[in-house]
Amino acid sequence: MNRRLTVGATVAALTLSVVPAYAASQGSASAPRSAPAATPTRVPAKAPSSKATTATPKPSGTATTAPKPTPLPTPAPYAPPPDQAQAATPSAPAIKASGTIPVRVDRTGKQAFDQTWPDAGRLFTVSELAQVIPGVTAIKAHDCASSPVSGGRSSARSTRCTLDLTVKGEPADNRSRIIVSVRGFGVPAVIGTGWTRTLTQQRERAASRPGLYTFYKNGALGASASYTDGTTTRVLLQRGGAAGEVWFSGIGFAHLKPGYLASRQDYRQRVAPALAQLIADKVQPTL
């Protein structure tokens, strides 16, 4: 009997000692729970990029580059028809140009760079004309017009103008005037075809009217070719594969010398070739 009591007391003591330990580990409902222990942070390995870079395969053999476009050749110059026996070598006073007019030409012949053409109303300046026409004090351009060019449009500048001159001693109602016609610019073959056609017609006309025309030798006055009928002077320009044609007509000029005939002869023999030479020096077609 005493032994049973002893065993029971021992079990009860063990139970009392275990229960409080279990309760402490769970905590009571009213007591706050301690924060869970921090879990060590684990740094994951860097994921592979979705944009995988692959080496560009090099072409086998020798590397090649795109060929450069072959530059177009310079257009061949135009050879004016040979001089006739009566071709003249003129002696004209040199006019100091106020400046130069570079004119661009498309070497393919397909485009007209007319924005670089000389403006017919401004081809000559007062200071230039005064060197061969004494007493010129002013120029007034009027009746200006453009010309059709490639692309179905009109030229950017006037290609034809009448220039009224104010000359001391001339009556206001009978002023001398110069009509300027910029015929065009382009490759020599195209410009030359038109020049040959017109020259042939003028030579035929000259044959029936002796003494009216003066055909200057090719290359005279700094021009590729030029000639005059006493009123209208035609000038062919060529430089390095580019060409152009300019005409001008002198009307009036009856007071250059005493007497009308002497004045017109002076215009024909001195003024006209001097202006042709000025154009050849001033207007410079280029590729």
pLDDT, tens only, 36-90: 434 444 444 444 444 445 555 555 555 667 777 788 899 999 999 999 999 999 9
The contacts of residue 264 (CB under 8 Å, 6+ apart) are 230, 253, 254
The contacts of residue 283 (CB under 8 Å, 6+ apart) are 100, 101, 103, 118, 123, 237, 244, 246
**Residues 46, 49: Cα–Cα separation, whole Å:** 9
Of 152, 75, 155, 63, nearest to 109 by C-alpha is 75
Task: Please say if the pLDDT value at position 3 is more than 70.
Answer: no
pLDDT for res 58? 56
Of 80, 91, 79, 84, nearest to 215 by C-alpha is 84
* Residue 151 Rama label (left phi>0; alpha psi -120 to 50; beta): left
Q: Is residue 142 part of a domain?
A: yes
Q: Is the pTM of this model over 0.85?
A: no
75 class by beta-carbon count within 10 Å (0-12 exposed, 13-18 middle, 19+ buried): buried
pLDDT for res 150? 87
Lowest mean pLDDT across 54-58, 111-115, 246-250, 252-256? 54-58
Of 123, 131, 138, 124, nearest to 170 by C-alpha is 138
In sign, the C-alpha dihedral spanning 15, 17, 22, 24 is: positive
Q: Is residue 231 part of a domain?
A: yes
Q: Is residue 4 part of a domain?
A: no
What is the arithmetic mean of pLDDT over 267-279?
A: 98
Q: Is residue 16 part of a domain?
A: no
What is the arithmetic mean of pLDDT over 197-213?
A: 96
**Residues 123, 235: Cα–Cα separation, whole Å:** 14
In whole numbers, what is the pLDDT of the chain averaged over residues? Answer: 84
Task: Please say if the pLDDT value at position 154 is more than 60.
Answer: yes
Q: Is residue 7 part of a domain?
A: no
Domain extent for 185: 110-115+122-261+269-286
What is the arithmetic mean of pLDDT over 145-166?
A: 96
Considering its fold, how many domains does the chain have in total?
1
**Residues 125, 58: Cα–Cα separation, whole Å:** 66
Which residue is it, tokens 């206001």? 172
Task: Please say if the pLDDT value at position 93 is more than 90.
Answer: yes
Task: Please say if the pLDDT value at position 12 is more than 60.
Answer: no
Q: Is residue 53 part of a domain?
A: no
Task: Please say if the pLDDT value at position 19 is more than 80.
Answer: no
Contact 114, 156 (CB under 8 A): yes
pLDDT bucket at 178, cuts 50 / 70 / 90:
very high
SS3 label, residue 245: strand
pLDDT for res 11? 34
Lowest mean pLDDT across 42-46, 214-218, 245-249? 42-46
12 class by beta-carbon count within 10 Å (0-12 exposed, 13-18 middle, 19+ buried): exposed
Would you give the distance in Å from CA 150 to the centre of its chain? 15
Percentage of the chain surpassing pLDDT 70? 78
Of 74, 79, 101, 111, nearest to 240 by C-alpha is 74
Q: Is residue 190 part of a domain?
A: yes
Lowest mean pLDDT across 58-62, 68-72, 222-226, 230-234? 58-62
Of 99, 100, 97, nearest to 239 by C-alpha is 100
Contact 263, 272 (CB under 8 A): no
Lowest mean pLDDT across 46-55, 150-159, 191-200? 46-55
pLDDT, tens only, 103-131: 999 999 999 999 999 999 999 999 999 99
Which residue is it, tokens 């001097």? 274
Q: How many CB atoms lie within 10 A of CB 263?
A: 18
Q: Is residue 253 part of a domain?
A: yes
* Residue 258 Rama label (left phi>0; alpha psi -120 to 50; beta): beta
